[in-house]
Every structure is written in structure tokens, then in C-alpha cells.
Amino acid sequence: MDWMKIVAALALIMFIVYLFPRARHMMENSPKGSSADWMGFVVPILVIVLFVMLLVQLV
């Protein structure tokens, strides 16, 4: 149904407009992470990616 697509798009756009100032504030005020900090993030995310691939194999 086309009206559902339009309503969904409008809701997402509203959400984007609501989040934009918060995102900009967080971009400007978030502390910078070291390479060790980023590794501490990347490694568990890679594990999650592998886990999702395993789930796909199980379907």
C-alpha cells in the first residue's frame, strides 16, 4: 500500500530530524578513541558478524 510507504518514510524523516542535533552534539563532544580502543570495538563486532553468518547457515 502506497500510503503505508509514505507514512513510513515520513516517520523515518521525522526521526532523522529529531536525531540530527543530537548526532552533531555527540560528534563534537565524544572523546577520541585510541587505536587500542577501536580494536576493543572492532573485535567483538567481527565476532557478531561471524555469529550472524553461523545463524544464516543454520536456517
Partner 1 sequence: MDQNYSTIGRSSRTKQAIEINKVLRNTYLLLAMTLLFSGLTASISMMMNMPPMTYLISVIGGMVIAMFVLPRFAHSTAGIGIVFLITGLLGFGLGPILSMYASVPNGSNIIMLSLGGTGVIFMGLSAYVLATRKDFSFLGGFLMVGFLLVLVAAVANIFLAIPAMSLMISAVVIMLMSGFILHDTSRIIHGGETNYILATIGLYMTIFNIFISLLQILGIMGGDD
Q: Which residues contact 41 (CB under 8 A, 6 or more apart)?
A: 33
Give the interface size with partner 1 as a residue count (CB under 8 A): 38
- For the CA atoms of 29, 34, 38, 41, the dihedral, rounded to the nearest 10 degrees, stands at -70
Which residues between 8 and 47 bind partner 1 (CB under 8 A)? 8-9, 11-13, 15-16, 18-20, 22-23, 26-33, 37, 40-41, 44-45, 47
Min separation Cβ 59 and partner 1, Å? 4
d(CA 59, CA 48): 17
Q: Is 34 helix (H, G, I), strand (E, B) or coil?
A: coil
**Considering the rule CB under 8 A, would residue 58 count as an interface residue with partner 1?**
yes
Task: Look at the block and give the residue holding cell 530530524.
Answer: 17
- What does the binding site for partner 1 look like in residue numbers (CB under 8 A)? 1, 4-5, 7-9, 11-13, 15-16, 18-20, 22-23, 26-33, 37, 40-41, 44-45, 47-49, 51-52, 55-56, 58-59
